[in-house]
Each structure stands twice: as C-alpha cells, then as structure tokens.
Amino acid sequence: MLELDLVDQRLLTLLQTAFPLCARPWEALGEQVGEDEARTLKRLRRLRQDGVLRQVSAIFDSRSLGYQSALVAAQAPAGRLESAAAVVSAHPGVSHNYEREHALNLWFTLATPPGRSLEQEAAELAARAALLRHRVLPSLRTFRIGVAFDLESGVARVQEPQSRRALRGPVALSSLDRAAIRLLQEDLPLVPRPFLVVARTLDLDEAELFDWVADAGDRGFLRRFAGVLRHREAGFGEGGMGVWQVPEERIEAVGKAFAQDPAVTHCYQRPSFEGWPYNLFTMVHGKTRQDCDALLQRLAVSVGGWTSRATLFSVREFKKERLKYFLEDLAPEGAGR
C-alpha cells in the first residue's frame, strides 16, 4: 500500500464520485483540493505512475450498446491455473479475471459484441484454456451496481444506482457514436484540455463534443465519467464476494434489502446450478478479510429469508480493466458528423 497524503485521498475520491465535465476538468478538481491545475496534473501523473489510478474515462452501459455479458465460474486443472488464466485474460471480451478460493478457482467476466453468442464464446474460450468445467452466470436481476472507494473515510461506498434507462435494451448508434465511444473509453489524456484532444480526433469542436456527451447520457448508454483505482494500492486490500441461497419467492425482497445497505457495492441475482446452490451475489470491500467478514455477517444477521451462504475471496487478480467496445469496427477514426 502506498502512502497517500490528504490531498491525494481527496483527489482520488473526487475522481470517482464527482468528475467535472468541463473544458478544464483538472483545474476544476484542483480548486476543490486547494491546488492549481499544474500541481493537480503532476499529482495525477504520479498517482498513475505509482499504479493507484488505473484510468479516467467514460463508463458506458454494455446492454444499451448491444453487448451481452456474464460472470463465468470455471475450474482450471491443478498446476495449470496460471496458464489457463493467461489464455482467458488474452480474450478482448474479458475485463475481470480472478483466482478465488473454491473448487471453481477461476472467475471472470466475459462480454460479446452484437451478433455473437455469449454461450458459444464462453465454451470456445474454456476449450482453448483447457478448463475442466465452466458455468455462465448472467445477471438475471441487478439490485445494485457501482463502487467508489472513499480514501478519506476508508470506506467503500455505492457510487451509482443501476440505470433504469439502460434496461430498455440496445439503442441505435451512428458512426459518430461508435467512434466517440472508442475514444472516450480510453484514459483521458493528462493535459489541460483533454476533451479538446478527443474532439479534434473526431473532427468536432469542444462544444460539439460536450453536446454529444449530454445526448449520450440522455439516450442512456453513457453513464458517467469517473476514475478507476487499483483498490489494493489504495488501501482496500480485500473484496469479499458473499453468495447466498435464497428461495425464488424471496429473491426480490432479500435482494432489495441487501441493496439498501451502503456497504454492499454490487448485488445481483444469478442462476444456480448443480453443486452451486447460491443465486444471490453481493460484493463488499474492506482493508482486511476480517472487515469483509464482519460486513457480511452483519448482513446475515440483519436480513432474513436466505437458507445458506458462503464467502469467496480473491487470491490473485489476473486482469481488471474496463471493457473496450467496438474495437472490431473497421470504420476510420474521425467518423463524420
């Protein structure tokens, strides 16, 4: 864990929760932490170099863009976990890939672009990685999604509710939409006017780009701009995935109750299968495993209606990044207005 001063902590928290959409965002952030633009940029470059700050970029809604995604639980052969994980991580649709303490020892998220079968892609990937078994676990219902690490208080909190607009399904996208998505999903450049750089690449002026951003938000496929941290380097060493067996008729009530707790950053209903009775998944984060255990135990006591539970901790992080959309496009950069 790196030593972060109070200004670092405040800046990183603001990047996750209140990124300013304006021509000079780093200057606006600096004003909130008592720094000028140049010093703020210097801090951000250091935090990126030190590995605390992964990136600052737009967050898009996969379903609205026509993508299918799911969590995949898999078992790699003994002694071949690393090689299997390397094959899985090389897939461009895999954004998260972890070793977890369970017979199902490899857990990853997989997404496929419009027109591709998620189940078939998962099966082909499992075969290439020589996995012994795998299960595709799509989200059947989302009760809560989005985490922000408050470095000042040392608490992981919910960042945003699930977008209701996103549940309507894919939206029609223009060539400009797809080109802007490909650019804005990348790390914003640490220069005084980062949006001007993006706008020029798209053959737009800065005002036109901000108009596009506002329209994309109104249409539901752009959620927000935010920074993503490497939570271990930021002091949140553990993430506990609490899994719960809940009778079908109680899923909605229990899921909503879990989602009301500020410590729960993600809460999904997923399918159960033979040997895996758990159908409700919750994520909590803490500095230690004991912190996570305490949070999940509090949930277990305060919320009834479940019949059994378990906690899976990640042992190793093989890959964690934001999903990249429309990289398969052949349209030239700067697609027209």
- Asked if the structure places residue 160 within a domain, the reply is no
Number of domains in the chain: 2
Between the alpha carbon of residue 279 and those of residues 72, 146, 270, 298, the distances in Å are 14, 20, 5, 19
What is the spatial distance between Cα 143 and Cα 229, in angstroms, rounded to a whole number? 23
**What is the pLDDT, as a whole number, of residue 162?**
39
For residue 101, give the amino acid letter. Answer: E
- Asked if the structure places residue 177 within a domain, the reply is no
Q: Tell me: do 244 and 304 sit in the same domain.
A: yes
Q: Which of 145, 146, 124, 149 is nearest to 134 (CA)?
A: 124
Q: Tell me: do 141 and 236 sit in the same domain.
A: yes
- Asked if the structure places residue 240 within a domain, the reply is yes
- Asked if the structure places residue 187 within a domain, the reply is no
Q: Tell me: do 243 and 280 sit in the same domain.
A: yes
Q: Tell me: do 1 and 122 sit in the same domain.
A: no
Q: Tell me: do 131 and 245 sit in the same domain.
A: yes
Q: Which of 143-157, 207-221, 229-243 has the lowest mean pLDDT?
A: 143-157
- Asked if the structure places residue 120 within a domain, the reply is yes
Q: Tell me: do 276 and 298 sit in the same domain.
A: yes
Q: What is the pLDDT of residues 42-57, one digit of tens each?
A: 999 999 999 889 899 9
User: Considering the chain, what percentage of its residues have pLDDT values greater than 70?
Assistant: 88
Select which of 96, 134, 231, 266 is catalytic.
96
Q: Tell me: do 8 and 43 sit in the same domain.
A: yes
Q: Which of 156, 142, 141, 115 is nearest to 17 (CA)?
A: 156
Q: Which of 234, 275, 274 is nearest to 102 (CA)?
A: 275
Q: Tell me: do 27 and 69 sit in the same domain.
A: no
Q: Which of 87-91, 137-141, 184-188, 226-230 has the lowest mean pLDDT?
A: 226-230
CATH number of the domain that 271 lies in? 3.30.70.3460
- Asked if the structure places residue 290 within a domain, the reply is yes
Average pLDDT of the segment spanning 273-292 = 92
Q: Tell me: do 236 and 294 sit in the same domain.
A: yes
Between the alpha carbon of residue 268 and those of residues 200, 237, 278, the distances in Å are 40, 23, 11
What is the spatial distance between Cα 336 and Cα 66, in angstroms, rounded to a whole number? 22
Cα–chain-centroid distance for residue 77?
A: 28
Q: Residue 74 sits in which domain range?
A: 64-146+232-320
Sheet bearing 280-286, strands edge to edge:
133-137, 68-75, 106-112, 94-100, 308-320, 238-245, 280-286, 266-269, 141-150, 155-160
Q: Is 91 among the residues known to form the active site?
A: no
Q: Tell me: do 287 and 312 sit in the same domain.
A: yes
The pair of three-digit structure tokens given for residue 122, joined into one six-digit string: 């998962």
